[in-house]
Amino acid sequence: MTELPQAMIETATSAADWVLVLPIVLALMGAAALLVVRRSNGVPMLGAVLVIVGIIACEISLLLRVVSEGPLSMTMGKWLPPFGISLTADLLGAAFALAAAVVTLIVVLYAEIDRDGNDSGDGFHSMVLLLLAGVTGSFLTGDLFNLYVWFEVMLIASFGLIVSGGTPLQLDGAVKYGFLNFLATTLFLLALGLTYGLLGTLNMADIIRVAPEANRAAITGIAALLLLAFGMKAAAFPLNAWLPASYHTPSAAVSALFAGLLTKVGAYALLRSQVALLPDSRDLLEPVLAVLAIATLVIAPLGAIAETQLRRAIGFFVIGGIGAILAGLSMPNVIGIAGAGIYIFHAILAMTALYMVVGLVEVRTGARDTRQMGGLYAASAPLSILFFVLILAVAGVPPFLGFWPKLLLLEAGVMDAELGWVGTAMVVALVLNAILTLIAGTRLWAHIFWRNGPEGSPGSSEPMALVPPTPKVRMAFTVVGALVLGVVLLGLWPNPMIEVGQRAAADIIDPGRYIEAVGLAGGAS
Amino acid sequence: MDYVLAALVGVFVSLGVYLLLSRSVIRMLIGMTVLGNGVNLLIFTSGRVMREVAPIVPAGLEVPAGPIANPLPQALILTAIVIGFSMFSFLLVLAFRAYKSLDADNTDTMRLAEPENAPQPPLSY
């Protein structure tokens, strides 16, 4: 009888480690439970809030643990990695998962604004929880095929959310959204098959271990395919056309959820795959990433300037943010990656808040096009302040949250002499992006809030007739205000965030601790 | 055998991409299916093709006697087929609903979300 290596985990997982899988389990079970009670009035919303609060509690304790002890891993089904499917939380994943759960909670509260008694039974809250499960799973998984599965969970939930309501406008947007996102995940699957064929493993830690010994050209091909697939998901130029075609069609709450979570998961997957998993591909792909980043940074705010439909204009800001993240990826030093990571964190919070404020503007003016808006400042100064703060945060004006990651990105471009033209070009593109975003944003603000009335109206000082706020609108305003306050406070005390971001980036660039956490550190398995 | 399958994957993927470039929604749907099946075949091939040796450890042994077929790609494909099929069904229903309410099965005429004659941006400010 030959001596066989250990293949199974014999000891039970310690209770404390369960915080890693609990957020996903809670979201999935919650979604199923809410489906059962979906027709009882008010219960789904209350249930969703309770479940998400539970998820947030788990993720706070997970984040604290990862901060103090380093990456945490748990392998399903008792098989030792790389055979069992690992869930692995490092700083980046844990922090994003927490931000995602927080904005989901805010969106669930905000969504009451355009829901009434007749809506019960459409399963909205189940689908939101399913979407959160997919997003959280994507952030916490340590296995490439598992990531694909979470992408699909997220995708099917988002399909349900984008068509719920079923207006012709939504169906039109959903066809474009559906085809392009399904195509992106199919391309991801294609790259997965090639990865398995080349490396014989799909566990992320194992891929990091064995990829340097594989054929460099094949690795580069796989990385390019992943760049295409995740770039499509993240709406990076030139694969961004589906986003402004679909994100403005569902209700404001759903738009906000999508803008905060979906493209960011694509950006996170790009960061993970291009920097952490397959760094050998960078010789060839780095100029590609840089050109994509510059094009996205410059073209997106120009789209926003040219657009009159309010939510479509905001969609271009989302794309511009993806450009900033790509800029960080094309400068793979600790500061650049930290900038990209913190930018994702910022974008999850700020983009969601911006869409929700836009939803409030739409409710108050009864219009969706900026040409039919005007004079809102007279009716609701606080709303105009929220909008203005978020525009400044998105453009990256100090002292708001968006400024710090952009400062890190600029620092990365200036400091690292090895980058050559990429560093200089990125600094120029980032500054240009900030200026153009500021122009687009302030023009929107001036049109909606500052001018006297809608386009074509005589210069009277009469403000336009506005829909008076209902109690629901006031409630929605309060929760959005709380989120914006969070964005402002994080911008005023950014030190802990920047420190955590730099440690997360160091872990991405030198994945020793990550591999050790999964348990693959010691030689052959 | 591997080479034949690899060539077949190439045919499937190029056919899928060709159909996806069409303007007709139904052709795009068929293109998605063909592309998805090409990808499934690719995963199957990438697990190395090995005929007629089931991955079962004989009684009394702890490891298989000789080389066996790789069971993992089949698990991956099974997952991918199920997911791909559910997505395809959703898109099929979506296309049907879009045809009913927009009266369009051609992407050129689906311009509700992106109006064809978009207004000029405002010149004030």
CB atoms within 10 A of CB A7: 11
The token duo for A131 is 């979407």
B27 part of a folded domain: yes
* Cα-trace Rg, chain A: 23
A10 part of a folded domain: no
Q: Establish how many alpha carbons lie within 13 A of residue A167's alpha carbon, considering only the half-sphere containing its beta carbon.
A: 10
A480 part of a folded domain: yes
pLDDT-derived band at A523 (thresholds 50, 70, 90) equals very low
Coil, strand or helix at B51? coil
CA-based nearest distance B67→chain A, Å: 16
The C-alpha angle A390, A349, A274, rounded to 5 degrees, equals 115
Nearest residue of B to residue A162 by CA position? B94
The token duo for A89 is 């939380």
A191-211 average pLDDT score: 91
B118 part of a folded domain: no
Q: Which of residues 43-102 of B touch A (CB under 8 A)?
A: 43, 45-48, 62-63, 72-73, 76, 79-80, 83-84, 86-87, 90-91, 94-95, 97-98, 101-102
The token duo for A499 is 């420190």
Structure confidence at residue A1 (pLDDT): 47
Beta partners for residue A89, in sequence order: A72
* ipTM of the complex, rounded to two decimals: 0.93
pLDDT digits (tens, 9 = 90+) for A439-470: 999 999 988 888 877 776 655 555 566 777 78
Amino acid at B7: A
Cis peptide before A82 (omega within 30 of 0): yes
Lowest average pLDDT, out of A243-247, A360-364, A377-381, goes to A377-381
What are residue A434's phi and psi, to 5 degrees? -60, -45
A6 part of a folded domain: no
Q: Which parts of chain B register pLDDT below 50?
A: none
In terms of residue numbers, what domain contains A417? 15-454+468-518
Which residues 6+ apart lie within 8 Å of A104 measured at CB? A52, A128, A131, A132, A257, A261
pLDDT digits (tens, 9 = 90+) for A394-422: 998 888 888 999 999 999 888 877 777 88
Lowest average pLDDT, out of A107-111, A230-234, A437-441, A461-465, goes to A461-465
What distance in Å separates the CA atoms of residue A493 and residue A401, rounded to the nearest whole number?
Answer: 9
DSSP A327-370: HHHTS-SHHHHHHHHHHHHHHHHHHHHHHHHHHHHHHHH--SBG
Structure confidence at residue A447 (pLDDT): 87
Structure confidence at residue A473 (pLDDT): 87
Mean pLDDT, all residues of chain A: 88
Q: Establish how many alpha carbons lie within 13 A of residue A477's alpha carbon, considering only the half-sphere containing its beta carbon.
A: 19
The token duo for A121 is 């039974």
- Which residue bears the tokens 């598992």? A146
pLDDT digits (tens, 9 = 90+) for A112-152: 887 765 566 788 999 999 999 999 999 999 999 999 999 99
Amino acid at A522: G
- Which residue bears the tokens 């295409």? A228
What distance in Å separates the CA atoms of residue A350 and residue A346, rounded to the nearest whole number?
Answer: 6
Q: Each residue of A118-142: b (16+ CB within 10 Å) or e? A: eebebbbbbbbbbbbbbbbbbbbbb
A7 part of a folded domain: no
Interface A–B counts its CB contacts (< 8 A) at 125
In terms of residue numbers, what domain contains B30? 2-51+70-108
B57 part of a folded domain: no
B97 part of a folded domain: yes
B65 part of a folded domain: no
Angle between helices A168-199 and A216-234 (to 10 degrees): 160
Structure confidence at residue A363 (pLDDT): 87
For B80, the closest of A168, A189, A370 (CB atoms) is A189
pLDDT digits (tens, 9 = 90+) for A48-66: 999 999 999 999 999 999 9
- Which residue bears the tokens 């075609």? A245
B44 part of a folded domain: yes
DSSP A274-305: IIII-GGGHHHHHHHHHHHHHHHHHHHHHHHH
CA-based nearest distance B56→chain A, Å: 17
State how many domains chain A has.
1
The token duo for A106 is 């805010």
- Whole-model pTM: value is 0.92
Residue A75 vs residue A467, higher pLDDT? A75
Q: Do A308 and B119 touch (CB under 8 A)?
A: yes
Could you tell me whether strands A86-89 and A72-75 are parallel, antiparallel, or unpaired per DSSP bridges?
antiparallel
Nearest residue of A to residue B79 by CA position? A149
Structure confidence at residue A331 (pLDDT): 87
Among the listed residues A348, A423, A394, the one whose alpha carbon sits nearest the alpha carbon of residue A92: A348
State how many domains chain B has.
1
Handedness of CA A335, A341, A344, A350 (dihedral sign): negative
Q: Domain of B43: which CATH number?
A: 1.10.287.3510
What distance in Å separates the CA atoms of residue A7 and residue A80, rounded to the nearest whole number?
Answer: 5
Residue A74 per-residue DSSP state: E
Among the listed residues A136, A347, A322, A327, the one whose alpha carbon sits nearest the alpha carbon of residue A232: A322
A462 part of a folded domain: no
A171 part of contact set with chain B, CB < 8 Å: yes
What distance in Å separates the CA atoms of residue B36 and residue B24, rounded to the nearest whole number?
Answer: 18
The token duo for A377 is 């400042």
Coil, strand or helix at A143? strand
Whether the pLDDT of residue A521 is over 80: the answer is no
Q: Which of B39, B78, B88 best tests the A interface by mutation, with the highest count of A CBs <10 A?
A: B39
Angle between helices A168-199 and B25-46 (to 10 degrees): 20
- Which residue bears the tokens 């593109």? A429
